[in-house]
Chains A and B, each alone.
Chain A
Amino acid sequence: MGKPVSIRNGRPRQRRDGLVVQKLPEETLVYDLERHKAHCLEATAAAVWQACDGRRTVEDIAARATTRIGRRVPEEAVWLALRRLGRARLLEAPVEGPAVGPLTSRRDWLKKAALFGGLSVLSITAPTAAQAATCTTTTACEGLQNRLCTGAPCCTTGPNPAPPGTICKKVGNQNNCSCAP
């Protein structure tokens, strides 16, 4: 692995505004109110994130995380966690950590992360109410007579996806329903 380079101000700071945090016994859930993304931080990633107060160096963060989770967290693991936390927009400023170059491929990073464990930051985009609701497939919609159109959102995934924002409705004088805006 290449020599670590310093982050922008040398002391990463966790983002606090616009986040909802839910702690679980082994993980921490973070909801980003601006981007509507939910992140699941494994134990080491969560400990690193919580230690990023803008005053601690990477070395300090490693020591703090080690104390918090009860096993050694090397500085390399902190760098990996900071990189992932930065990508998830959970830090005030992006991290300019060890560069991924010829000697430090993405595969090397992933191997290291697997070796250290607990560094995963899994993210999803939260659904809108319509996305989380029951939808009608295009095939099913077009199979309905126009007096039975459901008015439900049309499914935007699956074998015959409808355009986003369409509902199953009667269009003009057609005998059958259509997915239309």
Chain B
Amino acid sequence: MRVSEASALDAVVARLPTGWRPQAAPLVDHLVSYVVGGESERVRRLHLLYADARRLVRTSEQGEALAVLENHLTQAVAEIAPRRLFVHAGVVGWNGKAIVVPGPSHAGKSTLVAALLGAGATYYSDEYAVFDPQGRVHPFPRPLQLRDEREVVTSAEPEGVGGARGDGPLPVALVAVARYDAGSRWRPARLTRGRALLELLSNTIVARTHPSSAMATLSEVVSRAPSFKGRRGEAGETAAWLLEAVS
């Protein structure tokens, strides 16, 4: 990550992906460049952001440039992380094991994760399940992104909804494909291992680019953890069921 003006560094560092740390490695996998804009002497310079040679954004708004930067870095990490598989999912810990809730955006993952935290689970992520090759899941604890009925997003720290942060890898105890459907009752069907693997693969960032390693890792997950699928209504009912199932 390079920046044209040192004054913008603090704002950039605040947008780096969760768990980042400095590296002294001489080789760069992915170069992101931020050319800081602004106004001086009646000249208006735009904010420019590049990923390698590709321009990501050209805007007069620094806030937009930084939002695009944050989004791009998170996505880039998910795509190029070695020895880690990123699956779009919510994850909590319970009794030393993990509950994984895969699903696309707006399936209700964050709401269900918040309900699980309120019932005493520990927070791992509301965005990505990060698996190692043994099928264990690691924390990716960005703040929860809770959406109200008007689709306004509010960031919340896990402690604010009653949960503590998890800090180590956990074996997966249960996979639950739980799509929100107002008024539904949670009566899930058990998935076979193969169907559970397809559900996880359909939310895997590198499904197309690294299908072999993705399927190998996901087979480790589904070989050990039972999987269920259904429509859910209120998050509290489903959260209680999931915790009971793991207990």
Interface residues of chain A, those whose CB is within 8 Å of chain B, are 20, 22, 24-29, 31, 33, 36, 38, 40-42, 122, 124, 126-130, 132-137, 139-140, 143, 146-152, 155, 157-158, 169-170, 177
B residues in contact with A42, CB < 8 Å: 192, 194
CB closest residue in chain B, given A139: B151
The interface stretch among B5-13, B200-208, B238-246 is: B200-208
Q: Do residues A147 and B62 form an inter-chain contact, with CB atoms below 8 A?
A: yes
Interface size class of B (residues with CB under 8 A): 35 or more
Q: Can you list, as one digit per residue, whether each of B218-229 has a CB less than 8 Å from chain A (1) or not (0)?
A: 010011000000
Q: Do residues A25 and B151 form an inter-chain contact, with CB atoms below 8 A?
A: no
Interface of A is mostly: loop
Q: Do residues B64 and A147 form an inter-chain contact, with CB atoms below 8 A?
A: yes
Apart from A149-B64, A151-B57, what 18 extra A-B contacts exist at CB < 8 Å? A20-B211, A22-B197, A22-B216, A24-B197, A31-B212, A38-B215, A42-B192, A127-B202, A127-B208, A129-B205, A132-B202, A132-B205, A133-B88, A135-B104, A135-B105, A140-B153, A149-B68, A169-B64
Interface residues of chain B, those whose CB is within 8 Å of chain A, are 56-57, 59-64, 67-69, 71-72, 74-75, 78-79, 88, 104-106, 127, 147, 150-153, 192-195, 197-198, 201-209, 211-212, 215-216, 219, 222-223
- Using A22-B219, A170-B61 as known contacts, say yes or no to A151 and B193 having CB atoms under 8 A apart: no
Q: Do residues A24 and B193 form an inter-chain contact, with CB atoms below 8 A?
A: yes
B residues in contact with A177, CB < 8 Å: 64
Q: Do residues B211 and A170 form an inter-chain contact, with CB atoms below 8 A?
A: no
Q: Which of A24, A127, A157, A158 contacts B203 (CB 8 A)?
A: A127
8 contacts across the A-B interface (CB closer than 8 A): A24-B197, A25-B223, A31-B215, A38-B211, A41-B194, A128-B208, A140-B153, A177-B64
B residues in contact with A140, CB < 8 Å: 147, 151-153
Q: Do residues A148 and B194 form an inter-chain contact, with CB atoms below 8 A?
A: no
Q: Which of B61, B150, B222, B223 contacts A146 (CB 8 A)?
A: B61
Q: Do residues A148 and B193 form an inter-chain contact, with CB atoms below 8 A?
A: no
A residues in contact with B198, CB < 8 Å: 29, 38, 40, 122, 124
Give Cα A24 to B201, complex, Å.
15
- Using A127-B202, A127-B203 as known contacts, say yes or no to A148 and B67 having CB atoms under 8 A apart: yes
